[in-house]
Structure 1
Amino acid sequence: MATLARRQKFPFPEIPEWFETFPARFAMPTMSDLFAVRIEDYTEGDRYVMRAELPGVSPEDIDVAISEGVLTFKAERTEHEAEKNRSEIRYGSMSRSVTLPPGVNEDDVKADYTDGMLTVSVGLAREKAEARHIEVTHHA
């Protein structure tokens, strides 16, 4: 009983509840959040295009791969060797994988890196495959 009485007298009863429901967006970022690569993708003509922001990365430090309908790129930003007063630049490895839309031609891939922007385009099938009807069998 004493616990109940004390809880009722607490001047801000909603504070413990507020901390339990504290929004995740105010939480400390994880390492994967810090190195998240922002992308955009769209279809342009007969090509699927994915663009990624990779400022400050050398083209030699970018690897683009495509396999089984997934486009993956990896990059690494190496730290400039100098005595710094302050550094807000994120260094290290980063990667991102994107599921490609159906009908891409994995043999028709182009990648370009200009002004800190990686652009990868993949050819789409010229003709859409018609739906295949599958015979349904029944065993009694």
Structure 2
Amino acid sequence: MSDLSKWTPSDMLEPVRRFLEGDLTLAPSIKIEQFQEGNTLVVRAEVPGIDPDTDVDVSVSEGMLNISVEREEKSEQKSKTGYRSEFRYGSATRSIALPAGAKEEDVTATYKDGVLEVRAPAPEVAPVETTKKIRIDRS
């Protein structure tokens, strides 16, 4: 059994902070914004503190853009009264429907300042042809 008298108020609030940040949810999700820029779907995912070369997987499958992130966070606190170390691991995924006609080879991704940006251009949509009514002649 642990000695609660050695805990600080910040230790007691740590689980609340993690819950508010989404760390204790049953199905972790990635915060995103998505919008159209011309004919391109732009998806921005908030994924700070990760290495984009090893911690993120961006893939396209069956008309869906899939983003998966693996996180590993370590923190250490040393004080006169003791030492505390905490490790947190987790993964989150997000899937977004691609625009009709988007091709896997045209999808690009960049990472800067904790934001993953994925761009999926779609082909130009041909203008809808207008319907022309045909006159029926009586004979």
CA distance 1:101–1:90, change in 2 (3 Å)? farther
Letter in 1 for 2:109: A
Following superposition, the deviation at residue 102 of structure 1 comes to 1.8
Q: TM-score, normalised by structure 1?
A: 0.61
Listed as ranges, the matches of 1:44-59 within 5 Å are: 44-59=37-52
CA distance 1:97–1:129, change in 2 (3 Å)? farther
Instruction: Tell me if 1:30 matches 2:25.
Output: yes
Following superposition, the deviation at residue 129 of structure 1 comes to 7.5
Alpha-carbon distance between aligned partners in 2 of 1:128 and 1:90, rounded to the nearest angstrom: 50
Following superposition, the deviation at residue 47 of structure 1 comes to 1.1
More helix by share: 1
Instruction: Tell me if 1:121 matches 2:130.
Output: no
Other structure's SS at 1:92 match: strand
Other structure's SS at 1:107 match: helix
Following superposition, the deviation at residue 107 of structure 1 comes to 2.0
Other structure's SS at 1:82 match: strand
Following superposition, the deviation at residue 58 of structure 1 comes to 1.0
Alpha-carbon distance between aligned partners in 2 of 1:121 and 1:55, rounded to the nearest angstrom: 19
Q: TM-score, normalised by structure 2?
A: 0.61
Check the 8 A contact 2:75/2:85 in 1, yes or no. no
Q: CA RMSD in A?
A: 2.6
Check the 8 A contact 1:74/1:94 in 2, yes or no. yes
Following superposition, the deviation at residue 68 of structure 1 comes to 1.4
Aligned position for 1:67: 61
Aligned length: 100
Check the 8 A contact 1:37/1:95 in 2, yes or no. yes
Letter in 2 for 1:30: T
Identity among equivalent positions (%) equals 40
Alpha-carbon distance between aligned partners in 2 of 1:97 and 1:86, rounded to the nearest angstrom: 34
Following superposition, the deviation at residue 106 of structure 1 comes to 2.4
Gaps of 5+ in 2: 1-23, 78-82, 130-139
Q: Extract structure 1 runs of 4+ deviating beyond 3 A.
A: 81-87, 127-131
